[in-house]
Amino acid sequence: MCGIWALFGSDECLSVQCLSAMKIAHRGPDAFRFENVNGFTNCCFGFHRLAVVDQLYGMQPIRVKKFPYLWLCYNGEIYNFKQLQKQFGFEYQTLVDGEVILHLYNRGGIEQTASMLDGVFAFILLDTANRKVFLARDTYGVRPLFKVLTDDGFLGVCSEAKGLINLKHSTSLCSKVEPFLPGHYEVLDLKPSGKVASVELVKFHSCKDEPLHVTCDTVEALPSGFDLETVKSNICVLFENAVRKRLMAHRRIGCLLSGGLDSSLVAAVLLKLMKEININYPLQTFAIGMENSPDLLAARKVAAHIGSEHHEVILNTEEGIQAIEDVIFSLETYDITTIRASIGMYLVSKYIRKKTDSVVIFSGEGSDELTQGYIYFHKAPSPEEAAEESERLLKELYLFDVLRADRTTAAHGLELRVPFLDHRFTSYYLSLPAELRIPKNGIEKYLLRLAFEDSNLLPKEILWRPKEAFSDGIASVKKSWFSILQDYIDQQVDDLLLEKAAEKYPFNPPKTKESYYYRQIFEKHYSGRSSWLPHYWMPRWVKATDPSARTLKHYKSAAQE
C-alpha cells in the first residue's frame, strides 16, 4: 500500500504543485520521492512509500536498465509476479513485485499487461519512447485511483481525490476530478508539450469472466460440474489459495476480526497457512466494539478457537462521534452506511498503527456482495435477480465497502488484503448456478457456510452466525451504533435546515438529519463534488428508509432469540 501521484503538462511551477502530493502522505509513511521526467519539464511523479516488499529497491517511480524509457508508479501487490517470470523468462532487477508490469508491457503491450496481473493495483505507466501514458486499475478497485484531465490536456493522477482538488491550472478544474473506473485501462498520447490526449478507455476484465492469469496460477484446473461436493471442495481450495497468495510480505501480518463469518474464515485460514509456512510470530487479530457488543463476544470466541494473539479495542460513544469529521475527510464520501461502518474501522486501524507492529492487514470485505450476505437478499424475487444484484454490488464496491476498507486503513499507513475479492475465487463463485447461491433455510451465505462445515476451522455457532452489519455489530444489542449517532446528530441539525435540504443540495438530497450532518462535513472539505457518490447505498426489495440491517424485519439479535 502506498500513495501515487503524477502530473503531465502542468502550467504551474511543479514545486508549488507538489504540495498537493503531500495530501496523501499517510498512505506511505516510510519514504517520499518527487521526480521530474527527463525531457518533459512539466511532468513529474510523486510517491509515498509503505515498505512491504524489497526494502532496498522498492522506491518509485520504478525504472530498470533494460527499459530506460519506461517509468512506473503503482500502488498494489502483484501476487503472480514469480509465476509470470517463470512462464515468460523475465529477468528481474529488483525484488519488487510491480517490476513485472514493465516486462509484461514490453512483451505484449498494455492489454496483456492489465489482463495478466493477479493482484490489486492502480498504476501510471509512462513510455517516453512511444510517447504514451497508461493508467489502469484492478477489477474491483481495491486500490484507489483518481484523475483529472482538462480540455487543454493537463493530466493529474492520484491515489486519493484530495491530492488533485487543489492543483493550480490556467483553466478551471472544479468538476473534473473523478474516480478511475475499476477493471479498465486508459491510453493517452503524450505530446512534446507534456500535455496529453486520451485515445481510448478499455474494460479489460469483468468480474464474471475467468481471468487470463489462471494459466499461471499455483492451483491447477479444478474438477468441473455443479454437484454439491465438487462445488464445496472447489470453494475451499480456491479460498485457501486466495489467502495463501496474499501472504507475500516482509512486514508483520495481522487480521481484522469482527466475529462474523467473513473475517472469521479469513483469520482461521490465515493462521492455518502461517503455521504451514513456518511464519515465526503469532497472528494478531483485532476487534472493536462497545463493552459486551455482539462483535466483541463473537471475535473473542473465534480468537480462542484458532489461537490468535487477540486485541480488543473498546469503542466509547464520544470517541466515535469525535472521529466523524476525520473519517469523512479520509473517505471522500457522504454515503450514510459507509461512514457509519468506517468509524469503527478507522479507530481500530489507529490502534493497530500506534500499539502494534502489524502492517499488512487481512479483512473480510467483498464476501457480502459475492455470496449474497446482506439480509435483504432473503427478499429477492428470484435466484436470477439475486445473482444480478450480487454482480451490481461487486461492480460498485469501489464506491462503498472497498472505499471504506482502503481509506480507513490507509489513513493510518496500513496495507489491506482482501482474499474474498480474489479474481479466480470470485469468477468461480459467480459461475455457479444462481439457485445454489441464494439464502436457504433463512440463512444467508448458505453455500459458503456449507463448504466449510466439515473443516473444523471455526466453532459451529460462528460458522452459522447470522449477518451483522459492521456498524451494528460493534454496538450493544440494546442500542445500535446508528441510533446512537442519530441521537447525537438530532441535536446538531435544526429541523428547518432539513426541510430546505433539497434546495441546498439538489443532487442526492439528504432525507434525514444524519445524512444532512454528513453532507455538511463533506461539502466543507470537498465543496461541489457530490457527484463522486452517484447514489446512496440502500437495500433492495424492501421499503427501507435506512441502510442499517437492524431496521429490516428479518433481523433478529441474539438477545431476542
Mind listing the pLDDT tens digit for each residue in 83-110? 999 999 999 999 899 999 999 999 999 9
pLDDT at 557 over 70: no
Judge whether 190 is annotated as a binding position: no
Mind listing the pLDDT tens digit for each residue in 68-83? 999 999 999 999 999 9
The catalytic residue among 2, 158, 207, 255 is 2
Mind listing the pLDDT tens digit for each residue in 284-318? 999 999 888 888 999 999 999 999 999 999 988 89
Judge whether 422 is annotated as a binding position: no
552 or 92: which leads in pLDDT:
92
The ranges assigned to domains in the chain are 3-203, 226-490
**Do 3-203 and 226-490 agree at the fold level?**
no
Residue 561 — very low, low, confident or very high, per pLDDT cuts 50/70/90?
A: very low
Q: Residues with Cβ < 8 Å from 77, sequence gap 6 or more?
A: 52, 53, 97, 119, 120, 121, 246, 248, 415, 417
The answer to whether residues 97 and 78 touch, using CB atoms and an 8 Å cutoff, is: yes
Q: How far apart, in whole angstroms, are the C-alpha atoms of residue 193 and residue 5?
A: 20
Q: Which residues pair with 32 in a beta bridge?
A: 48
Judge whether 450 is annotated as a binding position: no
Residue 192 — very low, low, confident or very high, per pLDDT cuts 50/70/90?
A: very high
Mind listing the pLDDT tens digit for each residue in 246-273? 999 889 999 999 999 999 999 999 999 9
Least-confidence region, from 13-22, 97-106, 124-133: 13-22
Find the mean pLDDT for residues 122-139: 98
Find the mean pLDDT for residues 413-430: 97
What percent of the chain clears pLDDT 70, i.e. is strictly above it? 93
Least-confidence region, from 26-40, 48-62, 266-280, 467-481: 467-481
Mind listing the pLDDT tens digit for each residue in 387-401? 999 999 999 999 999
Find the mean pLDDT for residues 522-548: 90
Judge whether 546 is annotated as a binding position: no
* The pLDDT of residue 48: 87
Pick from 215, 246, 232, 140: which is nearest to 428 by CA? 232
The answer to whether residues 430 and 207 touch, using CB atoms and an 8 Å cutoff, is: yes
Residue 10 — very low, low, confident or very high, per pLDDT cuts 50/70/90?
A: very high
For every residue of 461-516, DSSP letters joined together read HHHTPPP--HHHHTS-SSS-HHHHHHHHHHTTS-HHHHHTHHHH--SS---SHHHH
Judge whether 256 is annotated as a binding position: yes
3-203 CATH choice from 3.60.20.10, 3.40.50.970, 3.10.580.10, 3.10.129.10 = 3.60.20.10
Q: How far apart, in whole angstroms, are the C-alpha atoms of residue 104 and residue 110?
A: 8
Q: Structure pTM?
A: 0.94
Instruction: Tell me, yes or no, if 2 is annotated catalytic.
Output: yes
The CATH class that applies to domain 226-490 reads alpha beta
* The pLDDT of residue 558: 39
pLDDT at 198 over 90: yes
pLDDT at 343 over 90: yes
pLDDT at 132 over 60: yes
Residue 28 — very low, low, confident or very high, per pLDDT cuts 50/70/90?
A: confident
What percent of the chain clears pLDDT 90, i.e. is strictly above it? 80
User: What's the distance, CA 240 to chain centroid?
Assistant: 20
User: What's the distance, CA 155 to chain centroid?
Assistant: 24
What is the average pLDDT value for the chain, to the nearest integer? 92
* Nearest-10 Cα torsion for 376, 377, 379, 384: 150
* The pLDDT of residue 15: 87
Mind listing the pLDDT tens digit for each residue in 509-534? 999 999 999 999 999 999 999 999 99
pLDDT at 469 over 70: no
pLDDT at 151 over 80: yes
Q: How far apart, in whole angstroms, are the C-alpha atoms of residue 461 and residue 253?
A: 26
Mind listing the pLDDT tens digit for each residue in 110-120? 999 999 999 99
